[in-house]
Amino acid sequence: MQQYRQKTKSDGAVTLADLERAGLSLTVHCRQCGHWSEVLPAALALPMEQEIPGLDGVFRCSICSSRDSCAMPLYPRKKPGNGE
């Protein structure tokens, strides 16, 4: 996904800094073609205070060029059967 523009912030949501501190990535999904990319928060030319919900529509898909995108934290999967 290619970065396009920054949107305004809302209150209380997870930020890029939160993901960076937790060692987590961000996934950016194209709602038009289904393409998605995993992105490290530090690799983005955005302020670390940027909230994740404010990233919707910020990226342009490298496959279909749509700006209809959404971003979400990539949390680790729980392993089945270990009681977690």
pTM: 0.75
Does 79 fall in a domain? Answer: no
Does any domain span residue 84? Answer: no
In a domain, 56, yes or no: yes
Does residue 62 belong to any structural domain of this protein? yes
Statement: residue 67 has pLDDT above 90: yes
- Domain span at residue 18 reads 2-74
Tokens coding 35: 């393409």
The beta-carbon contacts of 43-48 under 8 Å, at least 24 apart in sequence, are 44/3, 44/16, 45/3, 46/3, 46/6, 46/16, 47/16, 48/15, 48/16, 48/17, 48/20
Per DSSP, helices labelled H in the chain are 16-22
DSSP code, position 12: S
**82 within some domain:** no
80 domain residue, yes or no = no
pLDDT in tens, 10-64: 557 899 999 999 999 999 999 999 999 999 999 999 999 999 999 999 999 999 9
pLDDT score recorded for residue 79: 77
State the CB neighbour count (10 A cutoff) for residue 5.
Answer: 9
Q: Does a structural domain hold residue 83?
A: no
pLDDT at 11: 58
How many domains, in total, are found in the chain?
A: 1
Confirm whether 11 is domain-assigned. Answer: yes
